[in-house]
Amino acid sequence: MTQLHKRFTDSQVQKLFDRYVKGEVRRKHVEAILEIGKSRFFELLKAYREGRGKFSITYTRKKSTRGIGAGIEKNILKELTIDKVLIMNPATPVRAYNYSYIKNRLNKKYDQEVSLPTIINRAKREGYYLKKKQRKTHDREVLTNYVGELIQHDASYHMFAPDTKKKWCLITSLDDFSRYLLYAVLVERENTWAHIQGLQTVMVTYGFPVSYYVDCHSTFRFVRGRDELHYKHHLVTDESTPQWKQVLDDCRVKVTYALSPQAKGKIERPYQWIQDHVVRTCAREGVRDIKEARQVLKQEVGEYNHKRVHSTTKEVPYIRFQRALRNKRSLFREFEIPKPYKSIRDVFCFRMTRTADGYRKIGINNIQFKVNKMNPRDTLDLRIYPISKLYSEVRFWREEELLDIQKIKNTDLKRIIT
């Protein structure tokens, strides 16, 4: 129902009250005509009697209660402008305005409380608004019943700190049941070793899960015709095992592959939320170094894990994860070094085999190495663990016996450790 002053003129209402005062009409009739209640009737009657010929029902706002200060207005437009620059930059993964992020930013950075509708209204008025693209609907659902039943592992390669003009890789591991981020790290470039380190961190900290869910990236899966230009015709998909999967095989952890981008997209990837917030914060803080970006990532992961209610589970990920552990709804197996190995460096490492020659030496990249206790024609299993940018520890195994441990320059192991 519209307001009274939009339905009647001052003169029409005044004439009704003239007749009421003279006793020509009753109160209930005036209320019915004006479509008002008893309280409003007496409020208008009081104004009529005090008006003395100047009675008016016109609504005049004496003081704005919805306005915001000039400082808040300035900061809203400032934040919207930063978002627009990020959206216009094709190298960043930002494709839309994030008004909720701006609302939180105003609160934390400037100690200013602004409602989300106010920010959206300013954005539309000033042209900082993009219509949402229509997407195919899909069910965002939890596929598992226990923590540790399925770990989603993925990577994203983008310009996370626009001021650096460099792209970095975000690697994440997520528990499907709780949506708790078990691992998140920014690296300068994606390689097999970075993903193996992710496995080591998750498994040593939480234990062995049942399965990992990944795409068909060459780090995770060999696909004939894609990964080799020249291949033997009897070598087909999955008959050559990538180093990353060999680690999981040693740990007795299964791997499930998403066979298409659409299949991968059916599982929600919170790193999209993480990367969006990392980019926006790095841009605003002027981050120019990956160490600073990692601190931003740490803060955003903490926000996501411990404070944010997840849209699918309707719970904070950390709380859901911990409650599952307390209720023994966990399929994580306690971490222990698989037999016959003696160290995590025997498990989370690169692997290769070599056969000793008649002089008890093996060759790596045309360089000869002598190994203690090795016999001519022995077949050795080499476990290679990078310990710095310069050296790697090579552990020489013959069947179930550790024969020797040596430090070898990484330059002598090129094309082997990547």
pLDDT tens-digit readout, 43-68: 888 888 887 667 787 755 554 445 67
pLDDT for res 223 = 61
pLDDT band for 148, please (50, 70, 90 cuts).
very high
Distance from the Cα of residue 182 to its chain's centroid: 12
Across residues 73-85, what is the average pLDDT? 93
Q: Which of 60-64, 133-137, 144-148 has the lowest mean pLDDT?
A: 60-64
DSSP 166-192: --EEEEEEEETTT--EEEEEEESS--H
Helical residues (DSSP H) of 159-260, grouped into ranges: 192-206, 243-250
pLDDT for res 354 = 93
Question: Residue 266, Cβ neighbours under 10 Å: how many?
Answer: 13
- CA–CA dist 332, 173 (Å, integer): 14
Comparison of pLDDT for 273 and 380, the residue scoring more: 380
Of 129, 119, 128, whose CA–CA distance to 68 is shortest? 119
Q: How far is CA 387 from CA 187, 321, 365, 381, in A?
A: 16, 32, 20, 19
- CA–CA dist 97, 395 (Å, integer): 51
pLDDT for res 79 = 94
Name the DSSP letter for residue 365. Answer: T
- CA–CA dist 81, 340 (Å, integer): 59
Identify whether the C-beta of residue 82 lies closer than 8 Å to the C-beta of residue 284.
Answer: yes
- CA–CA dist 417, 390 (Å, integer): 12
**SS3 (DSSP) at 156:** strand
Q: How far is CA 241 from CA 195, 203, 347, 367, 413, in A?
A: 15, 20, 15, 25, 19
Comparison of pLDDT for 234 and 16, the residue scoring more: 16
Report residue 385: phi and psi, to 5°. Answer: -125, 110
- CA–CA dist 247, 74 (Å, integer): 53
Across residues 120-148, what is the average pLDDT? 79
Question: Residue 122, Cβ neighbours under 10 Å: how many?
Answer: 20
pLDDT band for 172, please (50, 70, 90 cuts).
very high
DSSP 47-75: HHHHHTT--------SS-SS---HHHHHH
pLDDT band for 355, please (50, 70, 90 cuts).
very high
**SS3 (DSSP) at 395:** strand
Is the overall model pTM greater than 0.85, yes or no? no
Distance from the Cα of residue 105 to its chain's centroid: 18
Angle, CA 135 vertex, CA 89 and CA 99 arms, to 5° = 50
| Beta pairing partners, 187 | 169
Mean pLDDT of the chain: 87
Across residues 126-144, what is the average pLDDT? 71
Name the DSSP letter for residue 344. Answer: G
Sign of CA dihedral 369, 375, 380, 385: negative
Residue 265, pLDDT above cutoff 80: no
- CA–CA dist 5, 56 (Å, integer): 9
Question: Residue 222, Cβ neighbours under 10 Å: how many?
Answer: 19
Query: What is the bridge-based pairing of β-strands 211-214 and 181-187?
Result: unpaired
